Structure 1
């Protein structure tokens, strides 16, 4: 084999290894997302590896700990919500856009049993997760500002309020969801009614400037 052929062979092998790594990471994230959503965050790493069709050691080659795996899943969820908010910024009806964002957001959370269990865990301390939370609050603020300008929601509501409400609505409905998966819609409507300007009283506490979960 010539040197050129050897280099080409090594390049091909490296490309194959990188492709395998990307594929395995995707398999692990998909398996972990499904397992945590169904059963919560106490699912053993071995079960996640089995679902993915990979060895347990492969999990730790990609994620040093379960917290790192949870952080990667949280990033996926947060990025999905940010993309939804950014897409809706172009909608003609700002009030309808905010409603759709909140509906989609609570629906995402209601489908994931692990969400409430992750709050307060070290996975939320990852810098990338905190940055993603900031991006979500900024995107939600852009949507909320448009709705405020239209007079569709009360003037003292912020994007961070909206992000907190997504989690609050989900946690309120959480005890009902195993038997009534759509129960969150009732509490979403209650929240949406509270956002409207009709007969609105002043809120008794200043709005949060940033969302810092610990």
Structure 2
């Protein structure tokens, strides 16, 4: 296992552990986080753990032309019950992703340090959010890292049914219009699989990261 120093460096993802841990330690500086995402790596750790840097052998992604929008979701979208905005309430979105209760999870991996780090990236125009509103209340959304040709989704939340799906669909459609290659979903999630995301080999994902 590789332990990071102050040097701005990550080992090759091929050197990761079988489950996908590339390195341990380091910091959450904007420079290191951006290098990580450009290298196919993301941080994921609990509050009482050292920083763990991951690049799983199977990567969950959405090819934008494979987006699945069910008939029921199309009906919900067409009712105009929800209003979608882009990157207008980043701090609120990440706070909700951090604080929302999730079935089967005792806590959150979005620590205070993580929150501060991604808010800094948002100020630099690197981390971005999608917001879903209902009657002027923020009821859903997601945030992630925008690499310009790949968007790396980090977390999403819903306070009402389907709100996170609305955010995901809106983002996918916007990315497709902007000719992005793929929407990175990191690890398998049945919720996102229902929207068309699927697992691919890490090697294929690394090719997509190249400009």
TM-score class, shorter-chain normalisation, is: under 0.3
Larger Rg: 1
Higher strand share: 2
If asked which structure has higher relative contact order (CA below 8 Å, sep 6+), I would say: 2
Greater helix fraction, Structure 1 or Structure 2: 1
TM-score of the superposed pair, with normalisation by structure 2: 0.28
Query: Under a length normalisation based on structure 1, what TM-score does the superposition of the two structures give?
Result: 0.27
